Amino acid sequence: MNHGLPAAMIAKIHGVLTRHSQVERALLYGSQAKANALAA
């Protein structure tokens, strides 16, 4: 999946979500998720 986020950030998000068993799904949205964010 091309989401425009570094692997370390995805790992952090995954780590947080796995600690909450009630979370069934997480969606990425926005320019970073779409991989078309403008460089700063």
- In the chain (40 residues long), the average pLDDT of successive 10-residue segments reads 78 93 86 59
Question: Nearest 5°: phi and psi at 10?
Answer: -60, -40
Q: Are 2 and 33 in contact (CB under 8 A)?
A: no
Task: Please give the pLDDT value at position 27.
Answer: 83
- Number of domains present in the structure of the chain: 1
Residue 6 CA to residue 20 CA, distance in Å, equals: 22
Distances (CA, A) of 31 to 15, 19, 22, 25, 27: 22, 26, 27, 20, 13
Domain that holds residue 4: 1-40
Q: Are 2 and 31 in contact (CB under 8 A)?
A: no
Task: Please give the pLDDT value at position 24.
Answer: 92
Task: Please give the pLDDT value at position 17.
Answer: 93
| pTM assigned to the model | 0.61
Task: Please give the pLDDT value at position 26.
Answer: 87
Task: Please give the pLDDT value at position 18.
Answer: 94
